[in-house]
Structure 1
Amino acid sequence: MSDFVAALPMYDWPEMRSEVDAQWARLRDAFRQKGIGAPQTIARVNADLRPVEGGIRDAAGKVIAPDPATLPPDELDFHGLWLHPALLFAQTCWGPMELGLSTHVQVIGQPNYDAFEGGQGELYSSALVMRAGEAPSVGSPSEGSPLIPLDILRGKHFTFNSLDSMSGFIGLTRDLEAMGESLDIFTARSESGGHRASIVAIAEGRADVAAIDCKSWALAQRFEPAAQAVKVVGWTGRRKGLPFITARSTPEPVKNILVDLLISLGAVGTTVR
């Protein structure tokens, strides 16, 4: 059994499991060829994470996350994963990173979003979606600037995946503030728990608008029937996409091997030394 933990949770939709597993197998085998004992499979639930007796602690010994063994075994606590001392490789969001996660992990690369409308290299944007027929559909601006239709959004019910999400909440908040506005343009706000759930809520009439990162929007168009009832009416500005990370305690030589392999595999748009 490997001493390390790895996961790719950010786009691990049920319909994507085989593709995500194949992505990990490619990375795992490359890591092992360089002498890094990567785990056979990625963690998808708390039960897959190694126990940490007494809870996960920071460098000063303060408990910053509970022992995964004490959490619901069939769920996945993202922060428990990201903060796990044995974390070899995972993907996170810049929202949690800005809110404190960055002090406990090391960024090793930025994925490439060229394959998705709204993406360019390491940058991605979020599609602002509403029910079809309520506003004209628009494409992503070529220069990556925000396209925020205030007249259409004002007075609507905004739903978002989580408060710490850059793509679903923070990015739009910042774009509105740059325009001299705020989330107060919406008459109601609600947390859906996930981008896919936001799309379903809009299609079912329980909300009016959401910001969906461009890769999740592409997945929704492939796999989520409710996406057929939803259209893109605007875009947030482009920002750095979801970074690949390793634990702060990962030794520098191991981190450098990870970075080099990500480059050689073409898995990143940019890397961090």
Structure 2
Amino acid sequence: MSELVAALPMYDWPEVRGEVDAQWARLRDAFRQKGIDAPQTLVRSNGDLPSVPGGIRDAAGTLIAPDPATLPPDELDYHKLWLHPALLFAQTCWGPMELGLSRHVQVIGQPSYDAYEGGQGELYSSALVMRTGEGPEVLSPANGSPLLPLDLMRGKRFTFNSLDSMSGFLGLTRDLDVMGESLDIFASRSESGGHRASIVAIAEGRADVAAIDCESWILAQRFEPAAKKVAVVGWTGRRKGLPYITAATTPEKTVKALREAIAGLAEQPLVKRVG
């Protein structure tokens, strides 16, 4: 039994667990063909993570995260997952990566967003959504540039999934900055805890505007009833999507094999090779 762990948590909605498991099965089998002892199943809770007595430490021996065994077993703390020394493969976001995570992991590859409006290759953008009827619906710009309806958003209540989210918070912040604006155009800001929760908050009238990454928006249209009351009124600019990562301690030989395996799956399409 593999002592390594893998997770694909970023789009792992309950309704698509089977699809995510199938994606992992393709990856797992490709990794095993390269001689990698990939785990049979994905981690979906803190309780699934191997214990790290004394806590998780970086290369210098500094404590950077507690032992997963001390965390609520039925929840999943993404940051502790990403920092786990047994991490073979997982998804993260460039927000946490830019805010320090990149020092503790290695990037393996980037997924392709070609299947989603607002995506192109390894680049993705976020749909700016409001309640249906509060603004004209728009398509994603073909050139991937931002399309921000400032007059519609000004004075409205903005909700976002998390402060370190590139798709829900940082990307929009940067696009506004380029335009000489800031998040101060909004009357208020609130943290919802997730893209799905942001959509529900808008539909229920507890917020007015949110930035939802293009893949999450498609999932919401498939499975979240509240999405029927919400419409796309703008788009953030395209930027690199969610990277696949492995632990900083993963051997160079294994990293090379992971990248080769991903490159071999790219034609399905599944992911695109980095480098």
Q: CA deviation at 1:234?
A: 0.2
Question: Residue 23 of structure 2 corresponds to which residue in structure 1?
Answer: 23
Question: Residue 8 of structure 1 corresponds to which residue in structure 2?
Answer: 8
Stretches of structure 2 lacking an aligned partner (at least 5 in a row): none
SS at match of 2:189: strand
Question: Residue 200 of structure 1 corresponds to which residue in structure 2?
Answer: 200
| C-alpha distance after superposition, 1:94-138 (max 9, x if no partner) | 000000000000001010000000000000000000000000000
The code of the aligned residue for 1:164 comes to D
What is the percentage of aligned positions where both structures have the same residue? 78
CA distance in 1, matches of 2:164, 2:245: 17
Deviation beyond 4 Å, 4+ runs, structure 1: none
The code of the aligned residue for 1:117 comes to E
CA distance in 2, matches of 1:167, 1:33: 34
CA distance in 2, matches of 1:25, 1:123: 24
Q: Is the 8 A contact 2:200 2:226 kept in 1?
A: yes
Residue pairs, 1:87-166, within 5 angstroms:
87-166=87-166
Question: Residue 268 of structure 1 corresponds to which residue in structure 2?
Answer: 271
Q: CA deviation at 1:270?
A: 3.5
The code of the aligned residue for 2:102 comes to S
CA distance in 1, matches of 2:264, 2:274: 11
SS at match of 1:120: coil
Q: Is the 8 A contact 1:122 1:270 kept in 2?
A: no
CA distance in 2, matches of 1:170, 1:34: 37
1:174 aligns with 2:159: no
TM-score normalised per structure 2 = 0.98
CA distance in 1, matches of 2:273, 2:241: 11
1:216 aligns with 2:216: yes
CA distance in 1, matches of 2:142, 2:33: 40
SS at match of 1:15: helix
Q: CA deviation at 1:91?
A: 0.4
Q: How many residues of Structure 1 are paired with residues of Structure 2 in the alignment? A: 272
The code of the aligned residue for 2:33 comes to Q
Question: Residue 189 of structure 1 corresponds to which residue in structure 2?
Answer: 189
Q: CA deviation at 1:140?
A: 0.2
Q: Is the 8 A contact 1:127 1:211 kept in 2?
A: yes
Q: Is the 8 A contact 2:28 2:39 kept in 1?
A: yes
Q: Is the 8 A contact 1:106 1:248 kept in 2?
A: yes
Q: CA deviation at 1:61?
A: 0.5
The code of the aligned residue for 1:214 comes to C
CA distance in 1, matches of 2:206, 2:90: 33
Stretches of structure 1 lacking an aligned partner (at least 5 in a row): none
Q: CA deviation at 1:150?
A: 0.4
CA distance in 1, matches of 2:55, 2:92: 21
CA distance in 1, matches of 2:241, 2:87: 20
Q: CA deviation at 1:29?
A: 1.4
Q: Is the 8 A contact 1:107 1:244 kept in 2?
A: yes
The code of the aligned residue for 1:268 comes to V
CA distance in 1, matches of 2:92, 2:157: 27
Comparing 33-42 and 230-239, the one that deviates more: 33-42
TM-score normalised per structure 1 = 0.99
CA distance in 1, matches of 2:274, 2:153: 36
Q: Is the 8 A contact 1:107 1:243 kept in 2?
A: yes
The code of the aligned residue for 1:98 comes to E
